[in-house]
Structure 1
Amino acid sequence: MNVVIVFNHPYEGSFGNAILNAVTNGLKGANHEIDLMHLDNDGFNPAMSKADLQAFVEHKPVDPQVIDYNEHLERADHLIFIFPIWWDLMPAMTKGFIDRVLSPGVVYDHHPRGFGLVPLLKNLKSVTIITTMNKPKIMYSLLIGNLIRKAMLSSVFKTMGYKRLQWISFTSVTSVSQKKRENWLINLENRFSKLN
Protein backbone atom coordinates (compact mmCIF):
# COMPACT_ATOMS: atom_id res chain seq x y z
CA MET A 1 0.00 0.00 0.00
CA ASN A 2 1.26 3.48 -0.86
CA VAL A 3 0.79 5.77 2.15
CA VAL A 4 1.24 9.50 1.58
CA ILE A 5 2.00 11.56 4.69
CA VAL A 6 1.54 15.33 4.71
CA PHE A 7 3.55 16.60 7.65
CA ASN A 8 3.65 20.15 9.02
CA HIS A 9 5.76 21.15 12.02
CA PRO A 10 8.85 23.42 11.94
CA TYR A 11 10.49 22.09 15.12
CA GLU A 12 12.37 18.81 14.84
CA GLY A 13 12.08 18.16 18.58
CA SER A 14 8.30 18.42 18.65
CA PHE A 15 5.92 15.69 19.73
CA GLY A 16 4.57 15.93 16.19
CA ASN A 17 7.92 14.67 14.91
CA ALA A 18 7.79 11.83 17.43
CA ILE A 19 4.33 10.98 16.04
CA LEU A 20 5.72 11.03 12.49
CA ASN A 21 8.46 8.58 13.53
CA ALA A 22 6.00 6.26 15.28
CA VAL A 23 3.61 6.22 12.31
CA THR A 24 6.48 5.69 9.89
CA ASN A 25 7.91 2.82 11.96
CA GLY A 26 4.51 1.15 12.10
CA LEU A 27 4.02 1.45 8.34
CA LYS A 28 7.53 0.15 7.63
CA GLY A 29 6.86 -2.84 9.87
CA ALA A 30 3.88 -3.70 7.67
CA ASN A 31 5.94 -3.18 4.47
CA HIS A 32 3.89 -0.24 3.27
CA GLU A 33 5.48 2.24 0.89
CA ILE A 34 5.85 5.65 2.59
CA ASP A 35 5.71 8.87 0.61
CA LEU A 36 6.45 11.86 2.86
CA MET A 37 5.61 15.44 1.96
CA HIS A 38 7.29 17.51 4.70
CA LEU A 39 5.83 20.96 4.07
CA ASP A 40 8.34 22.80 6.28
CA ASN A 41 11.44 21.09 4.88
CA ASP A 42 10.09 21.46 1.35
CA GLY A 43 9.65 25.21 1.83
CA PHE A 44 6.01 24.99 0.73
CA ASN A 45 4.41 28.39 0.12
CA PRO A 46 0.86 28.34 1.51
CA ALA A 47 -0.25 31.62 -0.12
CA MET A 48 -2.58 31.42 -3.11
CA SER A 49 -1.17 33.60 -5.91
CA LYS A 50 -3.01 35.13 -8.88
CA ALA A 51 -1.56 32.39 -11.07
CA ASP A 52 -2.72 29.73 -8.59
CA LEU A 53 -6.23 31.14 -8.54
CA GLN A 54 -6.41 31.17 -12.33
CA ALA A 55 -5.10 27.61 -12.38
CA PHE A 56 -7.74 26.67 -9.80
CA VAL A 57 -10.49 28.06 -12.04
CA GLU A 58 -9.07 26.31 -15.11
CA HIS A 59 -8.49 23.03 -13.22
CA LYS A 60 -4.85 22.98 -14.28
CA PRO A 61 -2.14 23.65 -11.63
CA VAL A 62 0.88 25.67 -12.78
CA ASP A 63 3.19 25.70 -9.74
CA PRO A 64 5.79 22.89 -10.16
CA GLN A 65 5.66 22.01 -6.46
CA VAL A 66 1.86 21.80 -6.49
CA ILE A 67 2.00 19.62 -9.61
CA ASP A 68 4.55 17.36 -7.90
CA TYR A 69 2.40 17.09 -4.77
CA ASN A 70 -0.62 16.27 -6.95
CA GLU A 71 1.31 13.41 -8.53
CA HIS A 72 2.08 12.03 -5.08
CA LEU A 73 -1.61 12.19 -4.15
CA GLU A 74 -2.65 10.38 -7.30
CA ARG A 75 -0.57 7.38 -6.18
CA ALA A 76 -1.91 7.37 -2.61
CA ASP A 77 -3.88 4.44 -1.22
CA HIS A 78 -4.03 6.08 2.20
CA LEU A 79 -3.47 9.73 3.12
CA ILE A 80 -2.25 10.89 6.54
CA PHE A 81 -2.02 14.48 7.79
CA ILE A 82 0.08 15.21 10.89
CA PHE A 83 0.11 18.74 12.30
CA PRO A 84 -0.31 20.75 15.53
CA ILE A 85 -3.46 22.69 16.32
CA TRP A 86 -2.59 26.36 16.79
CA TRP A 87 -5.31 28.85 17.78
CA ASP A 88 -7.84 26.02 17.36
CA LEU A 89 -7.05 25.34 13.69
CA MET A 90 -4.32 23.97 11.43
CA PRO A 91 -1.08 25.90 10.75
CA ALA A 92 -0.83 28.08 7.65
CA MET A 93 1.11 25.50 5.61
CA THR A 94 -1.52 22.83 6.14
CA LYS A 95 -4.29 25.28 5.26
CA GLY A 96 -2.33 26.36 2.20
CA PHE A 97 -1.93 22.72 1.18
CA ILE A 98 -5.70 22.34 1.28
CA ASP A 99 -6.20 25.54 -0.71
CA ARG A 100 -3.48 25.04 -3.33
CA VAL A 101 -2.97 21.27 -3.65
CA LEU A 102 -6.40 19.74 -3.06
CA SER A 103 -7.54 21.30 -6.30
CA PRO A 104 -10.41 20.68 -8.72
CA GLY A 105 -9.58 18.57 -11.73
CA VAL A 106 -7.04 16.64 -9.67
CA VAL A 107 -8.48 15.73 -6.26
CA TYR A 108 -12.17 16.34 -6.98
CA ASP A 109 -14.53 17.69 -9.60
CA HIS A 110 -18.02 19.11 -9.70
CA HIS A 111 -20.80 16.60 -10.22
CA PRO A 112 -21.92 16.62 -13.89
CA ARG A 113 -25.50 17.31 -12.78
CA GLY A 114 -24.34 20.30 -10.78
CA PHE A 115 -25.02 18.88 -7.30
CA GLY A 116 -22.04 18.36 -5.04
CA LEU A 117 -18.55 17.09 -5.77
CA VAL A 118 -17.08 13.80 -6.92
CA PRO A 119 -13.68 12.38 -5.82
CA LEU A 120 -10.99 11.94 -8.47
CA LEU A 121 -8.24 10.15 -6.50
CA LYS A 122 -9.23 6.65 -7.57
CA ASN A 123 -6.68 4.80 -5.41
CA LEU A 124 -7.45 6.67 -2.19
CA LYS A 125 -9.22 4.35 0.25
CA SER A 126 -8.99 6.34 3.49
CA VAL A 127 -7.75 9.53 5.16
CA THR A 128 -6.37 9.90 8.69
CA ILE A 129 -5.73 13.22 10.41
CA ILE A 130 -3.44 13.22 13.46
CA THR A 131 -3.21 16.38 15.56
CA THR A 132 -1.61 17.61 18.75
CA MET A 133 -2.69 20.45 21.01
CA ASN A 134 -2.17 21.75 24.52
CA LYS A 135 -5.86 22.35 25.24
CA PRO A 136 -7.79 19.73 27.22
CA LYS A 137 -10.06 17.54 25.10
CA ILE A 138 -13.27 18.71 26.78
CA MET A 139 -12.42 22.38 26.24
CA TYR A 140 -11.72 21.88 22.54
CA SER A 141 -14.83 19.76 22.13
CA LEU A 142 -17.39 21.73 24.12
CA LEU A 143 -16.13 25.30 23.93
CA ILE A 144 -14.43 25.33 20.54
CA GLY A 145 -16.57 22.74 18.77
CA ASN A 146 -13.95 20.37 17.35
CA LEU A 147 -13.09 22.70 14.48
CA ILE A 148 -10.65 20.27 12.84
CA ARG A 149 -13.40 17.67 12.48
CA LYS A 150 -15.70 20.27 10.95
CA ALA A 151 -13.08 21.89 8.72
CA MET A 152 -11.09 18.93 7.41
CA LEU A 153 -13.26 15.85 7.71
CA SER A 154 -16.68 17.33 7.00
CA SER A 155 -16.03 20.46 4.95
CA VAL A 156 -13.11 19.14 2.89
CA PHE A 157 -12.92 15.37 2.44
CA LYS A 158 -16.53 14.38 3.09
CA THR A 159 -17.74 17.15 0.79
CA MET A 160 -15.37 15.87 -1.92
CA GLY A 161 -16.91 12.42 -1.57
CA TYR A 162 -14.11 10.57 0.22
CA LYS A 163 -14.99 7.95 2.81
CA ARG A 164 -13.25 6.17 5.72
CA LEU A 165 -12.18 9.39 7.39
CA GLN A 166 -10.74 9.44 10.91
CA TRP A 167 -9.23 11.96 13.27
CA ILE A 168 -6.76 11.02 16.01
CA SER A 169 -6.43 13.89 18.47
CA PHE A 170 -3.78 14.13 21.17
CA THR A 171 -4.75 16.78 23.72
CA SER A 172 -3.09 18.36 26.76
CA VAL A 173 0.23 17.25 25.26
CA THR A 174 2.48 19.44 27.40
CA SER A 175 0.72 18.65 30.67
CA VAL A 176 0.43 14.86 30.51
CA SER A 177 3.23 12.63 31.78
CA GLN A 178 6.16 11.50 29.66
CA LYS A 179 4.98 7.92 30.18
CA LYS A 180 1.58 8.74 28.70
CA ARG A 181 3.17 10.32 25.65
CA GLU A 182 5.37 7.26 25.23
CA ASN A 183 2.30 5.01 25.42
CA TRP A 184 0.57 7.15 22.80
CA LEU A 185 3.52 6.61 20.46
CA ILE A 186 3.60 2.86 21.08
CA ASN A 187 -0.12 2.62 20.36
CA LEU A 188 0.27 4.67 17.17
CA GLU A 189 3.07 2.47 15.90
CA ASN A 190 0.98 -0.66 16.61
CA ARG A 191 -2.07 0.89 14.98
CA PHE A 192 -0.30 1.72 11.73
CA SER A 193 1.47 -1.62 11.63
CA LYS A 194 -2.04 -3.04 11.10
CA LEU A 195 -3.20 -0.56 8.45
CA ASN A 196 -5.03 -2.23 5.60
Structure 2
Amino acid sequence: MLIQVVHSHPLQDSYNHALFRTIVDTLARRHQVIATDLDREGFSPVMTEAERRSYYQGPYAEEGVARLVADLRRADGIIFCFPHWWFSMPATIKGYFDRVWAPGTAFVHDLAGARIKPFLTNIRLFGVVTSYGSPWWLTRIVMQDPGRKVLFRALKPMCGPAVRSFYLAHYDMDRSTPMSRQAFLERVRARVAGL
Protein backbone atom coordinates (compact mmCIF):
# COMPACT_ATOMS: atom_id res chain seq x y z
CA MET A 1 0.00 0.00 0.00
CA LEU A 2 1.23 3.52 -0.81
CA ILE A 3 0.41 5.87 2.07
CA GLN A 4 0.99 9.60 2.07
CA VAL A 5 1.59 11.26 5.44
CA VAL A 6 0.87 14.99 5.34
CA HIS A 7 2.31 17.00 8.23
CA SER A 8 2.27 20.61 9.31
CA HIS A 9 4.03 22.20 12.26
CA PRO A 10 6.48 25.13 12.09
CA LEU A 11 8.86 23.58 14.65
CA GLN A 12 10.91 20.55 13.70
CA ASP A 13 11.65 19.83 17.37
CA SER A 14 7.94 19.81 18.31
CA TYR A 15 6.01 16.91 19.76
CA ASN A 16 3.82 16.96 16.68
CA HIS A 17 6.86 16.51 14.45
CA ALA A 18 7.91 13.55 16.61
CA LEU A 19 4.46 12.04 15.94
CA PHE A 20 5.00 12.59 12.20
CA ARG A 21 8.39 10.85 12.29
CA THR A 22 6.89 7.96 14.28
CA ILE A 23 4.10 7.51 11.73
CA VAL A 24 6.46 7.62 8.74
CA ASP A 25 9.06 5.30 10.30
CA THR A 26 6.45 2.79 11.46
CA LEU A 27 4.64 2.73 8.11
CA ALA A 28 7.91 2.30 6.20
CA ARG A 29 8.35 -1.16 7.72
CA ARG A 30 5.35 -2.52 5.77
CA HIS A 31 4.31 0.07 3.18
CA GLN A 32 5.59 2.57 0.68
CA VAL A 33 5.42 6.06 2.19
CA ILE A 34 5.24 9.56 0.77
CA ALA A 35 6.38 11.80 3.65
CA THR A 36 5.02 15.30 3.00
CA ASP A 37 6.24 17.91 5.50
CA LEU A 38 4.49 21.04 4.26
CA ASP A 39 6.38 23.47 6.49
CA ARG A 40 9.82 22.10 5.58
CA GLU A 41 8.81 22.19 1.90
CA GLY A 42 7.85 25.86 2.16
CA PHE A 43 4.28 25.19 1.04
CA SER A 44 2.21 28.35 0.68
CA PRO A 45 -1.37 27.98 1.91
CA VAL A 46 -2.50 30.98 -0.13
CA MET A 47 -4.66 30.09 -3.12
CA THR A 48 -3.43 31.91 -6.21
CA GLU A 49 -5.60 34.06 -8.43
CA ALA A 50 -5.32 31.51 -11.25
CA GLU A 51 -6.36 28.68 -8.93
CA ARG A 52 -9.42 30.54 -7.70
CA ARG A 53 -10.48 31.74 -11.16
CA SER A 54 -10.31 28.19 -12.50
CA TYR A 55 -12.06 26.59 -9.52
CA TYR A 56 -15.51 26.56 -11.12
CA GLN A 57 -14.63 27.21 -14.73
CA GLY A 58 -12.04 24.40 -15.10
CA PRO A 59 -9.71 22.96 -15.77
CA TYR A 60 -8.27 23.77 -12.36
CA ALA A 61 -4.92 25.58 -12.56
CA GLU A 62 -2.93 23.05 -10.51
CA GLU A 63 0.54 23.95 -11.79
CA GLY A 64 1.66 25.42 -8.44
CA VAL A 65 0.69 22.24 -6.58
CA ALA A 66 1.18 19.66 -9.35
CA ARG A 67 3.50 17.38 -7.34
CA LEU A 68 1.13 17.31 -4.36
CA VAL A 69 -1.82 16.61 -6.65
CA ALA A 70 0.11 13.78 -8.32
CA ASP A 71 0.99 12.29 -4.91
CA LEU A 72 -2.64 12.42 -3.80
CA ARG A 73 -3.88 10.84 -7.01
CA ARG A 74 -1.52 7.86 -6.72
CA ALA A 75 -1.80 7.22 -2.97
CA ASP A 76 -3.85 4.34 -1.57
CA GLY A 77 -4.10 5.98 1.82
CA ILE A 78 -3.50 9.31 3.54
CA ILE A 79 -2.72 10.23 7.13
CA PHE A 80 -2.71 13.81 8.39
CA CYS A 81 -0.56 14.82 11.34
CA PHE A 82 -0.95 18.33 12.74
CA PRO A 83 -1.99 20.21 15.89
CA HIS A 84 -5.34 21.91 16.40
CA TRP A 85 -4.99 25.57 17.31
CA TRP A 86 -8.08 27.54 18.32
CA PHE A 87 -10.03 24.31 17.72
CA SER A 88 -9.07 24.25 14.05
CA MET A 89 -6.31 23.17 11.71
CA PRO A 90 -3.28 25.41 11.08
CA ALA A 91 -3.37 27.64 7.99
CA THR A 92 -0.87 25.45 6.14
CA ILE A 93 -3.08 22.35 6.32
CA LYS A 94 -6.20 24.39 5.51
CA GLY A 95 -4.39 25.83 2.49
CA TYR A 96 -3.33 22.33 1.45
CA PHE A 97 -7.00 21.30 1.33
CA ASP A 98 -7.99 24.51 -0.46
CA ARG A 99 -5.31 24.22 -3.14
CA VAL A 100 -4.74 20.46 -3.54
CA TRP A 101 -8.14 18.89 -2.78
CA ALA A 102 -9.56 20.84 -5.69
CA PRO A 103 -11.93 20.16 -8.59
CA GLY A 104 -10.72 17.36 -10.84
CA THR A 105 -8.66 15.88 -8.01
CA ALA A 106 -10.80 15.51 -4.87
CA PHE A 107 -14.19 16.01 -6.49
CA VAL A 108 -16.09 16.93 -9.62
CA HIS A 109 -18.61 19.78 -9.59
CA ASP A 110 -22.19 19.14 -10.54
CA LEU A 111 -23.20 22.78 -10.53
CA ALA A 112 -26.60 22.11 -12.08
CA GLY A 113 -27.43 19.63 -9.31
CA ALA A 114 -25.82 21.83 -6.62
CA ARG A 115 -23.57 19.04 -5.36
CA ILE A 116 -20.14 17.56 -5.77
CA LYS A 117 -19.13 14.03 -6.71
CA PRO A 118 -16.27 12.37 -4.77
CA PHE A 119 -13.26 11.73 -6.99
CA LEU A 120 -10.59 10.33 -4.65
CA THR A 121 -11.80 6.75 -4.94
CA ASN A 122 -8.14 5.61 -4.91
CA ILE A 123 -7.93 6.56 -1.22
CA ARG A 124 -8.86 3.52 0.89
CA LEU A 125 -7.46 4.79 4.22
CA PHE A 126 -8.07 8.20 5.81
CA GLY A 127 -6.32 8.81 9.12
CA VAL A 128 -5.72 11.75 11.44
CA VAL A 129 -3.20 12.09 14.27
CA THR A 130 -3.56 15.37 16.09
CA SER A 131 -3.29 17.25 19.35
CA TYR A 132 -5.30 19.90 21.16
CA GLY A 133 -4.21 22.32 23.86
CA SER A 134 -7.60 21.99 25.55
CA PRO A 135 -9.05 19.04 27.44
CA TRP A 136 -11.30 16.59 25.58
CA TRP A 137 -14.53 17.80 27.21
CA LEU A 138 -13.96 21.41 26.13
CA THR A 139 -13.05 20.35 22.60
CA ARG A 140 -15.76 17.75 22.09
CA ILE A 141 -18.68 18.93 24.25
CA VAL A 142 -18.40 22.72 24.50
CA MET A 143 -16.84 23.49 21.10
CA GLN A 144 -18.29 20.41 19.35
CA ASP A 145 -14.93 19.62 17.70
CA PRO A 146 -15.16 21.79 14.56
CA GLY A 147 -11.84 20.60 13.10
CA ARG A 148 -12.84 16.96 13.31
CA LYS A 149 -16.18 17.76 11.67
CA VAL A 150 -14.44 19.35 8.67
CA LEU A 151 -12.14 16.36 8.29
CA PHE A 152 -14.79 13.66 8.60
CA ARG A 153 -17.88 15.34 7.19
CA ALA A 154 -16.35 17.33 4.32
CA LEU A 155 -13.01 15.78 3.35
CA LYS A 156 -13.28 12.05 4.10
CA PRO A 157 -16.44 11.73 1.96
CA MET A 158 -14.38 12.79 -1.08
CA CYS A 159 -12.66 9.41 -0.75
CA GLY A 160 -15.80 7.41 -1.38
CA PRO A 161 -17.94 5.20 0.86
CA ALA A 162 -15.54 2.27 1.41
CA VAL A 163 -12.67 4.23 2.95
CA ARG A 164 -11.41 3.02 6.36
CA SER A 165 -10.60 5.73 8.86
CA PHE A 166 -9.16 6.48 12.28
CA TYR A 167 -8.75 9.57 14.45
CA LEU A 168 -6.23 9.73 17.27
CA ALA A 169 -6.02 12.86 19.42
CA HIS A 170 -3.88 13.87 22.37
CA TYR A 171 -6.04 16.31 24.34
CA ASP A 172 -4.91 18.80 26.99
CA MET A 173 -1.42 19.29 25.55
CA ASP A 174 -1.08 22.50 27.58
CA ARG A 175 -0.92 20.34 30.71
CA SER A 176 0.61 17.21 29.21
CA THR A 177 3.43 15.32 30.86
CA PRO A 178 6.31 13.31 29.42
CA MET A 179 4.34 10.20 30.46
CA SER A 180 1.12 11.28 28.68
CA ARG A 181 3.03 12.25 25.54
CA GLN A 182 4.94 8.97 25.46
CA ALA A 183 1.76 6.95 26.04
CA PHE A 184 0.03 8.70 23.13
CA LEU A 185 3.08 8.25 20.88
CA GLU A 186 3.00 4.51 21.63
CA ARG A 187 -0.74 4.42 20.91
CA VAL A 188 -0.07 6.04 17.53
CA ARG A 189 2.78 3.63 16.80
CA ALA A 190 0.59 0.63 17.61
CA ARG A 191 -2.33 1.86 15.49
CA VAL A 192 -0.14 2.61 12.48
CA ALA A 193 1.78 -0.68 12.83
CA GLY A 194 -1.52 -2.52 12.44
CA LEU A 195 -2.31 -1.00 9.04
TM score, norm. by length of structure 1: 0.90
Runs of 4+ deviating beyond 4 Å? none
Any unmatched runs of 5+ in structure 2?
A: none
C-alpha separation in 1, matches of 2:165 and 2:115: 18
Take 1:63 and 1:116, find their aligned partners in 2: how far apart are those partners?
Answer: 22
Query: Once the 2 structures are TM-superposed, how far is the Cα of residue 111 of structure 1 from its aligned partner?
Result: 5.1
Any stretches of 5+ residues in structure 1 without a counterpart?
none
- In the other structure, the counterpart of 1:151 is 150
Asked whether the 8 Å contact 2:120–2:160 carries over to 1, the reply is no
Count of residues paired in the alignment:
194
Conserved in 2, the CA contact under 8 Å of 1:107 and 1:120? yes
Residue number in structure 2 paired with 1:182 = 182
CA contact (8 A) 1:4 1:34 kept: yes
Contact 2:24/2:35 (8 A) holds in 1: no
SS at match of 1:180: helix
Letter in 1 for 2:189: E
TM (normalized to structure 2)? 0.90
Residue of structure 1 in register with 2:165 after alignment: 165
Q: Is the 8 A contact 2:129 2:188 kept in 1?
A: no
Cα 1:190–1:166 shift into 2, 3 Å: closer
Distance 1:66 1:60, change over 3 A: farther
Query: Offset of 1:76 from its aligned partner?
Result: 0.8
Higher relative contact order (CA 8 A, sep 6+): 1
Aligned position for 2:26: 26
- Is it true that 1:88 corresponds to 2:87 in the alignment? yes
CA distance in 2, matches of 1:194, 1:131: 18
Map residues 31-46 of structure 1 onto 2, 5 A cutoff: 31-46=30-45
Partner of 1:9: 9
Task: Report how far residue 25 of structure 1 moved.
Answer: 2.1
Counterpart Cα distance in 2 of 1:185 and 1:161: 29
Q: Is the 8 A contact 1:23 1:189 kept in 2?
A: yes
Deviation at 1:62, TM superposition (A): 2.9
2:182 matches 1:192: no
Cα-Cα RMSD: 2.0
- 1:97 maps to a residue whose letter is Y
Distance 1:109 1:68, change over 3 A: same
